[in-house]
Structure 1
Amino acid sequence: MIRLYDYWRSSAAYRVRIALNLKHVLHERENIALLEGVHRSPENLARNPQGFVPTLVVEGEALTQSLAIIDYLDALYPDPPMVPRDPLARARVLAQALLIAADIHPMNNLRILKRLESQFGADQAAKDEWYRHWIIEGFTALEKLAKSGPGPLLGGNAPNLADVCLVPQMFNARRLSVPLEGFPRLVAADAAANAIPEIAAAHPDRVKPER
Protein backbone atom coordinates (compact mmCIF):
# COMPACT_ATOMS: atom_id res chain seq x y z
CA MET A 1 0.00 0.00 0.00
CA ILE A 2 1.13 3.52 -0.78
CA ARG A 3 0.85 5.90 2.18
CA LEU A 4 0.96 9.67 1.98
CA TYR A 5 2.03 11.56 5.08
CA ASP A 6 0.12 14.73 4.53
CA TYR A 7 -1.07 17.98 6.05
CA TRP A 8 -4.39 19.20 4.74
CA ARG A 9 -3.28 22.83 4.18
CA SER A 10 0.28 22.18 3.02
CA SER A 11 0.78 23.42 -0.54
CA ALA A 12 3.40 20.76 -1.23
CA ALA A 13 1.16 17.97 0.05
CA TYR A 14 -1.76 19.41 -1.93
CA ARG A 15 0.31 19.05 -5.12
CA VAL A 16 0.96 15.38 -4.41
CA ARG A 17 -2.71 14.73 -3.60
CA ILE A 18 -3.64 16.22 -6.97
CA ALA A 19 -1.10 14.07 -8.83
CA LEU A 20 -2.18 10.90 -7.02
CA ASN A 21 -5.82 11.63 -7.84
CA LEU A 22 -5.18 12.46 -11.49
CA LYS A 23 -3.29 9.21 -11.89
CA HIS A 24 -5.89 7.25 -9.88
CA VAL A 25 -3.25 5.79 -7.59
CA LEU A 26 -4.76 3.98 -4.62
CA HIS A 27 -3.23 5.23 -1.39
CA GLU A 28 -3.82 5.89 2.27
CA ARG A 29 -3.34 9.26 3.93
CA GLU A 30 -2.05 10.10 7.39
CA ASN A 31 -2.33 13.66 8.66
CA ILE A 32 0.79 15.24 10.18
CA ALA A 33 -0.44 18.19 12.24
CA LEU A 34 2.10 20.91 11.48
CA LEU A 35 0.64 23.50 13.83
CA GLU A 36 0.95 21.02 16.69
CA GLY A 37 4.58 20.26 15.85
CA VAL A 38 4.00 16.63 14.87
CA HIS A 39 6.32 17.09 11.87
CA ARG A 40 9.22 17.42 14.33
CA SER A 41 8.42 14.13 16.05
CA PRO A 42 11.06 11.36 15.96
CA GLU A 43 8.71 9.22 13.86
CA ASN A 44 8.29 11.85 11.16
CA LEU A 45 11.97 12.81 11.20
CA ALA A 46 12.85 9.17 10.66
CA ARG A 47 10.75 9.24 7.49
CA ASN A 48 11.69 12.74 6.40
CA PRO A 49 14.91 14.16 7.92
CA GLN A 50 13.81 17.69 7.03
CA GLY A 51 10.69 17.27 9.12
CA PHE A 52 8.52 18.32 6.20
CA VAL A 53 5.42 17.04 4.49
CA PRO A 54 4.65 15.39 2.19
CA THR A 55 6.36 12.04 2.46
CA LEU A 56 5.20 9.20 0.24
CA VAL A 57 6.06 5.71 1.48
CA VAL A 58 6.05 3.03 -1.22
CA GLU A 59 7.00 -0.54 -0.26
CA GLY A 60 8.97 0.74 2.70
CA GLU A 61 10.80 3.43 0.73
CA ALA A 62 10.18 7.01 1.86
CA LEU A 63 10.11 9.64 -0.88
CA THR A 64 10.31 13.34 -0.02
CA GLN A 65 9.96 16.70 -1.82
CA SER A 66 6.70 17.14 -3.72
CA LEU A 67 8.16 17.59 -7.21
CA ALA A 68 10.45 14.59 -6.76
CA ILE A 69 7.45 12.53 -5.63
CA ILE A 70 5.43 13.67 -8.64
CA ASP A 71 8.34 12.84 -10.95
CA TYR A 72 8.41 9.33 -9.44
CA LEU A 73 4.66 8.96 -9.94
CA ASP A 74 4.99 10.19 -13.51
CA ALA A 75 7.60 7.55 -14.25
CA LEU A 76 5.56 4.77 -12.65
CA TYR A 77 2.10 5.92 -13.76
CA PRO A 78 2.68 7.83 -17.01
CA ASP A 79 -0.99 8.55 -17.75
CA PRO A 80 -1.80 11.40 -17.61
CA PRO A 81 1.70 12.86 -18.04
CA MET A 82 2.69 15.76 -15.81
CA VAL A 83 5.40 17.03 -18.17
CA PRO A 84 5.68 16.79 -21.96
CA ARG A 85 8.32 14.66 -23.65
CA ASP A 86 9.38 17.38 -26.07
CA PRO A 87 12.46 19.01 -24.51
CA LEU A 88 11.41 22.61 -25.19
CA ALA A 89 7.85 22.11 -23.96
CA ARG A 90 9.17 20.22 -20.94
CA ALA A 91 11.52 23.07 -20.03
CA ARG A 92 8.67 25.59 -20.25
CA VAL A 93 6.38 23.54 -18.01
CA LEU A 94 9.15 23.03 -15.47
CA ALA A 95 9.92 26.76 -15.49
CA GLN A 96 6.30 27.59 -14.64
CA ALA A 97 6.08 24.89 -11.98
CA LEU A 98 9.39 25.88 -10.37
CA LEU A 99 8.45 29.55 -10.37
CA ILE A 100 5.75 28.54 -7.90
CA ALA A 101 7.37 25.64 -6.07
CA ALA A 102 10.90 27.04 -5.79
CA ASP A 103 10.38 30.82 -5.78
CA ILE A 104 6.96 31.70 -4.32
CA HIS A 105 6.17 28.85 -1.97
CA PRO A 106 9.44 28.67 0.05
CA MET A 107 9.19 32.37 0.94
CA ASN A 108 5.82 31.74 2.58
CA ASN A 109 6.54 28.43 4.26
CA LEU A 110 5.48 28.07 7.90
CA ARG A 111 9.08 27.95 9.14
CA ILE A 112 9.91 31.20 7.33
CA LEU A 113 6.89 32.96 8.78
CA LYS A 114 7.80 31.74 12.26
CA ARG A 115 11.35 33.01 11.79
CA LEU A 116 10.08 36.43 10.76
CA GLU A 117 8.19 36.53 14.03
CA SER A 118 10.88 35.16 16.33
CA GLN A 119 13.88 37.02 14.86
CA PHE A 120 12.34 40.25 13.61
CA GLY A 121 9.18 40.59 15.72
CA ALA A 122 6.82 40.49 12.76
CA ASP A 123 3.17 40.48 13.83
CA GLN A 124 0.40 38.71 11.92
CA ALA A 125 -0.31 41.71 9.71
CA ALA A 126 3.36 42.00 8.73
CA LYS A 127 3.59 38.28 7.99
CA ASP A 128 0.45 38.44 5.85
CA GLU A 129 1.85 41.37 3.90
CA TRP A 130 5.13 39.46 3.37
CA TYR A 131 3.10 36.49 2.12
CA ARG A 132 1.10 38.60 -0.32
CA HIS A 133 4.21 40.36 -1.65
CA TRP A 134 5.88 37.17 -2.84
CA ILE A 135 2.70 35.77 -4.39
CA ILE A 136 2.07 38.97 -6.33
CA GLU A 137 5.68 39.14 -7.53
CA GLY A 138 5.62 35.52 -8.68
CA PHE A 139 2.16 35.66 -10.22
CA THR A 140 3.10 38.80 -12.18
CA ALA A 141 5.85 36.85 -13.94
CA LEU A 142 3.80 33.66 -14.28
CA GLU A 143 0.88 35.52 -15.88
CA LYS A 144 3.26 36.65 -18.64
CA LEU A 145 4.81 33.19 -19.08
CA ALA A 146 1.38 31.57 -19.31
CA LYS A 147 -0.23 34.21 -21.58
CA SER A 148 0.19 32.31 -24.82
CA GLY A 149 -1.22 29.01 -23.59
CA PRO A 150 -3.42 27.12 -26.08
CA GLY A 151 -6.19 26.00 -23.72
CA PRO A 152 -8.00 26.84 -20.52
CA LEU A 153 -5.37 25.16 -18.34
CA LEU A 154 -1.68 26.00 -18.12
CA GLY A 155 -1.25 22.57 -19.70
CA GLY A 156 -3.64 23.41 -22.52
CA ASN A 157 -6.61 21.04 -22.53
CA ALA A 158 -5.21 18.74 -19.84
CA PRO A 159 -3.55 19.60 -16.53
CA ASN A 160 0.20 19.37 -16.24
CA LEU A 161 2.77 19.99 -13.51
CA ALA A 162 2.32 23.76 -13.75
CA ASP A 163 -1.41 23.39 -13.01
CA VAL A 164 -0.64 21.00 -10.15
CA CYS A 165 1.52 23.72 -8.61
CA LEU A 166 -0.80 26.62 -9.46
CA VAL A 167 -3.94 25.29 -7.78
CA PRO A 168 -2.51 25.16 -4.23
CA GLN A 169 -0.86 28.56 -4.67
CA MET A 170 -4.15 30.10 -5.80
CA PHE A 171 -5.81 28.60 -2.72
CA ASN A 172 -3.19 30.35 -0.58
CA ALA A 173 -3.60 33.60 -2.50
CA ARG A 174 -7.33 33.67 -1.81
CA ARG A 175 -6.82 32.69 1.82
CA LEU A 176 -4.52 35.71 2.23
CA SER A 177 -6.82 38.04 0.22
CA VAL A 178 -4.32 38.62 -2.57
CA PRO A 179 -5.93 40.81 -5.27
CA LEU A 180 -6.19 38.64 -8.36
CA GLU A 181 -7.64 41.08 -10.92
CA GLY A 182 -4.26 41.42 -12.61
CA PHE A 183 -3.94 37.69 -13.25
CA PRO A 184 -6.86 36.69 -15.50
CA ARG A 185 -4.96 33.85 -17.19
CA LEU A 186 -4.06 32.29 -13.85
CA VAL A 187 -7.56 32.72 -12.45
CA ALA A 188 -9.06 31.07 -15.54
CA ALA A 189 -6.57 28.18 -15.41
CA ASP A 190 -7.29 27.64 -11.72
CA ALA A 191 -11.05 27.58 -12.36
CA ALA A 192 -10.63 25.08 -15.19
CA ALA A 193 -8.42 22.88 -13.02
CA ASN A 194 -10.82 22.91 -10.09
CA ALA A 195 -13.64 21.83 -12.40
CA ILE A 196 -11.80 18.50 -12.80
CA PRO A 197 -13.20 16.11 -10.14
CA GLU A 198 -9.81 14.58 -9.29
CA ILE A 199 -8.35 18.00 -8.60
CA ALA A 200 -11.41 19.20 -6.70
CA ALA A 201 -11.19 16.13 -4.46
CA ALA A 202 -7.70 17.18 -3.32
CA HIS A 203 -8.89 20.58 -2.04
CA PRO A 204 -7.98 21.23 1.62
CA ASP A 205 -11.64 21.62 2.58
CA ARG A 206 -12.28 18.11 1.26
CA VAL A 207 -9.46 16.46 3.23
CA LYS A 208 -9.41 18.52 6.42
CA PRO A 209 -9.45 16.19 9.44
CA GLU A 210 -12.58 16.28 11.56
CA ARG A 211 -12.11 17.66 15.03
Structure 2
Amino acid sequence: MQLYTYYRSTSSYRVRIALALKGLDYQALPVNLIAASGGEHRQAPYLALNPQGRVPALRTDDGQLLIQSPAIIEYLDERYPQVPLLSKDLVTRAHERGVAALIGCDVHPLHNVSVLNKLRQLGHDETQVAEWIAHWISQGLAAVEQLIGDAGYCFGDEPGMADVYLIPQLYAAQRFNIALNAYPRISRVAGLAATHPAFIKAHPANQPDTP
Protein backbone atom coordinates (compact mmCIF):
# COMPACT_ATOMS: atom_id res chain seq x y z
CA MET A 1 0.00 0.00 0.00
CA GLN A 2 0.98 3.61 -0.56
CA LEU A 3 -0.13 6.47 1.65
CA TYR A 4 -0.10 10.03 0.34
CA THR A 5 0.46 11.93 3.55
CA TYR A 6 1.72 15.10 5.17
CA TYR A 7 3.43 14.84 8.53
CA ARG A 8 1.34 17.54 10.26
CA SER A 9 -2.02 16.71 8.70
CA THR A 10 -4.26 15.38 11.47
CA SER A 11 -6.35 13.37 9.01
CA SER A 12 -3.19 11.74 7.63
CA TYR A 13 -2.00 11.18 11.19
CA ARG A 14 -5.15 9.22 12.08
CA VAL A 15 -4.72 6.94 9.06
CA ARG A 16 -1.09 6.33 10.03
CA ILE A 17 -2.25 5.32 13.52
CA ALA A 18 -4.81 2.90 12.09
CA LEU A 19 -2.17 1.34 9.82
CA ALA A 20 0.29 1.04 12.70
CA LEU A 21 -2.25 -0.46 15.10
CA LYS A 22 -2.98 -3.14 12.53
CA GLY A 23 0.71 -3.74 11.84
CA LEU A 24 0.32 -3.00 8.13
CA ASP A 25 3.28 -2.10 5.96
CA TYR A 26 2.97 0.79 3.53
CA GLN A 27 5.07 3.24 1.58
CA ALA A 28 4.71 6.83 2.74
CA LEU A 29 4.53 9.32 -0.13
CA PRO A 30 4.83 12.80 1.41
CA VAL A 31 2.78 15.58 -0.18
CA ASN A 32 4.15 19.01 0.74
CA LEU A 33 1.16 21.21 1.57
CA ILE A 34 3.22 24.36 2.07
CA ALA A 35 5.63 24.18 -0.87
CA ALA A 36 6.71 27.50 -2.36
CA SER A 37 4.88 26.60 -5.57
CA GLY A 38 1.58 26.71 -3.68
CA GLY A 39 1.56 23.19 -2.31
CA GLU A 40 2.00 19.89 -4.11
CA HIS A 41 -1.62 19.00 -3.35
CA ARG A 42 -2.71 21.78 -5.72
CA GLN A 43 -0.51 20.68 -8.59
CA ALA A 44 -1.72 18.67 -11.57
CA PRO A 45 0.04 15.38 -10.72
CA TYR A 46 -1.67 15.09 -7.34
CA LEU A 47 -5.00 16.47 -8.55
CA ALA A 48 -5.02 13.73 -11.16
CA LEU A 49 -5.03 11.26 -8.27
CA ASN A 50 -7.37 13.11 -5.91
CA PRO A 51 -9.49 15.82 -7.53
CA GLN A 52 -10.23 17.34 -4.11
CA GLY A 53 -6.52 18.01 -3.66
CA ARG A 54 -6.30 16.92 -0.04
CA VAL A 55 -4.48 14.32 2.00
CA PRO A 56 -4.56 11.53 2.91
CA ALA A 57 -5.10 9.21 0.00
CA LEU A 58 -4.37 5.50 0.13
CA ARG A 59 -3.49 3.27 -2.79
CA THR A 60 -4.50 -0.25 -1.85
CA ASP A 61 -2.64 -3.45 -2.62
CA ASP A 62 -4.89 -3.98 -5.65
CA GLY A 63 -4.31 -0.48 -7.00
CA GLN A 64 -7.49 1.28 -5.89
CA LEU A 65 -7.06 4.88 -4.70
CA LEU A 66 -9.13 5.76 -1.63
CA ILE A 67 -9.67 9.28 -0.27
CA GLN A 68 -11.05 10.77 2.96
CA SER A 69 -9.68 9.41 6.25
CA PRO A 70 -13.02 8.04 7.59
CA ALA A 71 -13.51 5.96 4.43
CA ILE A 72 -9.89 4.80 4.49
CA ILE A 73 -10.00 3.81 8.15
CA GLU A 74 -13.30 1.95 7.74
CA TYR A 75 -11.82 0.14 4.71
CA LEU A 76 -8.75 -0.88 6.68
CA ASP A 77 -10.87 -2.15 9.56
CA GLU A 78 -13.04 -4.23 7.26
CA ARG A 79 -10.21 -5.46 5.03
CA TYR A 80 -7.85 -6.30 7.92
CA PRO A 81 -10.15 -7.24 10.83
CA GLN A 82 -7.57 -9.15 12.87
CA VAL A 83 -6.84 -6.08 15.03
CA PRO A 84 -10.30 -4.47 15.23
CA LEU A 85 -10.74 -0.76 15.79
CA LEU A 86 -14.39 -1.13 16.82
CA SER A 87 -15.94 -3.02 19.71
CA LYS A 88 -17.99 -6.18 19.14
CA ASP A 89 -20.77 -4.57 21.18
CA LEU A 90 -23.06 -2.61 18.87
CA VAL A 91 -23.81 0.17 21.35
CA THR A 92 -20.14 0.67 22.16
CA ARG A 93 -19.38 0.72 18.43
CA ALA A 94 -21.91 3.51 18.04
CA HIS A 95 -20.27 5.46 20.87
CA GLU A 96 -16.84 4.98 19.29
CA ARG A 97 -18.10 6.15 15.93
CA GLY A 98 -19.84 9.09 17.61
CA VAL A 99 -16.62 10.39 19.15
CA ALA A 100 -14.76 9.83 15.87
CA ALA A 101 -17.42 11.78 13.97
CA LEU A 102 -17.48 14.57 16.55
CA ILE A 103 -13.78 15.10 15.98
CA GLY A 104 -13.59 14.31 12.28
CA CYS A 105 -16.75 16.15 11.20
CA ASP A 106 -17.34 18.92 13.75
CA VAL A 107 -13.94 19.94 15.15
CA HIS A 108 -11.13 19.23 12.71
CA PRO A 109 -12.75 20.82 9.63
CA LEU A 110 -13.11 24.15 11.43
CA HIS A 111 -9.37 24.53 11.91
CA ASN A 112 -8.35 23.09 8.57
CA VAL A 113 -5.83 25.33 6.82
CA SER A 114 -8.28 26.14 4.02
CA VAL A 115 -10.85 27.42 6.52
CA LEU A 116 -8.27 29.48 8.39
CA ASN A 117 -6.98 31.00 5.17
CA LYS A 118 -10.54 31.92 4.18
CA LEU A 119 -11.02 33.68 7.52
CA ARG A 120 -7.86 35.67 6.84
CA GLN A 121 -9.06 36.55 3.33
CA LEU A 122 -12.29 37.85 4.86
CA GLY A 123 -10.28 40.27 6.96
CA HIS A 124 -9.89 38.50 10.29
CA ASP A 125 -6.56 39.11 12.00
CA GLU A 126 -4.41 36.43 13.65
CA THR A 127 -5.87 37.12 17.10
CA GLN A 128 -9.37 36.47 15.79
CA VAL A 129 -8.24 33.36 13.93
CA ALA A 130 -6.62 32.03 17.11
CA GLU A 131 -9.83 32.70 19.05
CA TRP A 132 -11.81 30.80 16.39
CA ILE A 133 -9.48 27.79 16.64
CA ALA A 134 -9.49 27.76 20.44
CA HIS A 135 -13.28 28.02 20.61
CA TRP A 136 -14.04 25.06 18.36
CA ILE A 137 -11.28 22.76 19.62
CA SER A 138 -12.07 23.49 23.26
CA GLN A 139 -15.80 22.98 22.71
CA GLY A 140 -15.16 19.65 21.00
CA LEU A 141 -12.74 18.36 23.61
CA ALA A 142 -15.12 19.33 26.41
CA ALA A 143 -17.76 17.11 24.81
CA VAL A 144 -15.33 14.23 24.25
CA GLU A 145 -14.24 14.46 27.89
CA GLN A 146 -17.81 13.65 28.94
CA LEU A 147 -18.32 10.89 26.39
CA ILE A 148 -15.33 8.62 27.01
CA GLY A 149 -14.73 6.15 29.83
CA ASP A 150 -12.95 6.45 33.15
CA ALA A 151 -10.24 3.83 32.59
CA GLY A 152 -7.85 2.80 29.85
CA TYR A 153 -8.26 4.25 26.40
CA CYS A 154 -11.43 5.99 25.26
CA PHE A 155 -13.58 2.87 25.40
CA GLY A 156 -11.51 0.07 26.89
CA ASP A 157 -8.14 -1.41 27.61
CA GLU A 158 -7.05 -1.38 23.96
CA PRO A 159 -6.99 1.61 21.61
CA GLY A 160 -9.72 1.82 19.00
CA MET A 161 -11.47 4.09 16.54
CA ALA A 162 -12.10 6.92 19.00
CA ASP A 163 -8.43 7.00 20.03
CA VAL A 164 -7.36 7.02 16.38
CA TYR A 165 -9.25 10.30 15.98
CA LEU A 166 -8.57 11.81 19.41
CA ILE A 167 -4.78 11.67 19.52
CA PRO A 168 -4.20 13.67 16.29
CA GLN A 169 -6.72 16.23 17.51
CA LEU A 170 -4.69 16.64 20.69
CA TYR A 171 -1.58 17.20 18.59
CA ALA A 172 -3.44 19.99 16.81
CA ALA A 173 -4.59 21.44 20.13
CA GLN A 174 -1.01 21.59 21.35
CA ARG A 175 0.12 23.21 18.09
CA PHE A 176 -2.43 25.95 18.70
CA ASN A 177 -1.43 26.34 22.37
CA ILE A 178 -4.66 24.96 23.80
CA ALA A 179 -4.15 23.58 27.31
CA LEU A 180 -5.44 20.09 28.08
CA ASN A 181 -5.38 20.24 31.90
CA ALA A 182 -9.17 20.73 31.99
CA TYR A 183 -9.64 17.27 30.48
CA PRO A 184 -8.38 14.55 32.87
CA ARG A 185 -9.93 11.64 30.96
CA ILE A 186 -8.46 12.87 27.69
CA SER A 187 -5.10 13.43 29.39
CA ARG A 188 -5.18 9.85 30.65
CA VAL A 189 -5.71 8.54 27.11
CA ALA A 190 -2.95 10.80 25.82
CA GLY A 191 -0.55 9.42 28.42
CA LEU A 192 -1.28 5.84 27.38
CA ALA A 193 -0.92 6.63 23.69
CA ALA A 194 2.42 8.36 24.30
CA THR A 195 3.97 5.00 25.26
CA HIS A 196 2.19 2.83 22.67
CA PRO A 197 4.44 1.78 19.73
CA ALA A 198 1.76 2.36 17.09
CA PHE A 199 1.05 5.91 18.21
CA ILE A 200 4.76 6.64 18.49
CA LYS A 201 5.38 5.34 14.96
CA ALA A 202 2.55 7.45 13.55
CA HIS A 203 3.51 10.68 15.34
CA PRO A 204 4.37 13.64 13.10
CA ALA A 205 7.84 13.89 14.62
CA ASN A 206 8.65 10.42 13.28
CA GLN A 207 7.61 10.93 9.64
CA PRO A 208 10.03 11.06 6.70
CA ASP A 209 8.87 14.55 5.68
CA THR A 210 9.22 16.10 9.14
CA PRO A 211 11.33 19.28 8.78
Name the structure 2 match of 1:39: 41
Cα pair 1:150 1:156 within 8 Å, conserved? no
Aligned to 1:72: 75
Equivalent position of 1:185 in the other structure: 185
**Distance in structure 1 (CA, Å) of the matches to 2:155 and 2:146:** 15
Long gaps (5+) in structure 1: none
Q: Which runs of 5+ in 2 are unaligned?
A: none
- Stretch deviating more after TM superposition (9-18 or 52-61): 52-61
* 1:1-57 deviation line (CA, Å, top 9, x unaligned): x10000000000000000111111111001111112111111211211111100001
How many Å separate the matches in 2 of 1:57 and 1:187?
34
| Rounded Cα–Cα distance in structure 2 between residues aligned with 1:79 and 1:186 | 27
Whole-angstrom distance in 2 between the partners of 1:9 and 1:28: 17
Q: Which moved more, 1:37-46 or 1:95-104?
A: 37-46
For residues 210 and 193 of structure 2, the distance between their equivalents in structure 1, rounded to whole angstroms, comes to: 26
* Cα separation, 1, equivalents of 2:170 and 2:114: 20
Shift of 1:86: 2.2
> What is aligned with 1:209?
209
Paired residues of 2:85 and 2:161 also in contact (CA < 8 A): yes
Letter aligned with residue 64 of structure 2: E
Q: Distance in 1 between matches of 2:81 and 2:112?
A: 30
Determine helix, strand or coil for the equivalent of 2:171: helix
* Deviation of 1:126 (Å): 2.1
**Ranges of 4+ aligned residues in structure 1 off by more than 4 Å:** none
Distance (Å, rounded) in 2 between the aligned partners of 1:131 and 1:159: 27
Using the alignment, how far apart are the partners of 1:193 and 1:79 within structure 2? Answer: 20
Percent of residue pairs bearing the same amino acid type: 40
Shift in CA distance, 210/89, structure 1 to aligned 2, threshold 3 Å:
closer
Letter in 2 for 1:182: A
1:110-125 equivalences in 2 (<5 Å)? 110-118=113-121, 120-125=122-127
**2:6 and 2:209 in contact (8 A); partners too:** no
5 Å matches for 1:28-177? 28-36=27-35, 37-58=39-60, 59-118=62-121, 120-146=122-148, 149=149, 151-177=151-177
> 1:181 Cα shift?
1.9
| AA aligned opposite 2:175 | R
Q: Residue type matched to 2:86 in 1? A: V
One-letter code aligned to 2:10: S
Q: Secondary structure of the residue that 1:122 maps to in structure 2?
A: coil
How many angstroms apart in 2 are the aligned matches of 1:128 and 1:205? 23
Sort the Cα spacing of 1:208 and 1:114 in 2 relative to 1 into closer, same or farther, 3 A. farther
How far apart in 2 are the matches of 1:88 and 1:9? 33
| Cα deviation code 1:91-144 (max 9, x no counterpart) | 1100011110110000000100010011x2122232222111101000111111
Q: What is the aligned-residue RMSD (CA, Å)?
A: 1.3
Secondary structure of the corresponding residue to residue 65 of structure 2: strand
Greater shift after overlay, 104-113 or 127-136? 127-136
* Aligned residue-pair number: 207
CA deviation digits over 1:62-85, x for unaligned, max 9? Answer: 101101101111111112211123
Q: Does the CA contact (< 8 Å) of 1:3 and 1:29 recur in 2?
A: yes
Deviations 1:134-176 (A, max 9, x none): 0100011111111xx2532103110011000000000111111
User: How big is the shift at 1:210?
Assistant: 5.6
Q: Displacement, 1:208?
A: 5.0
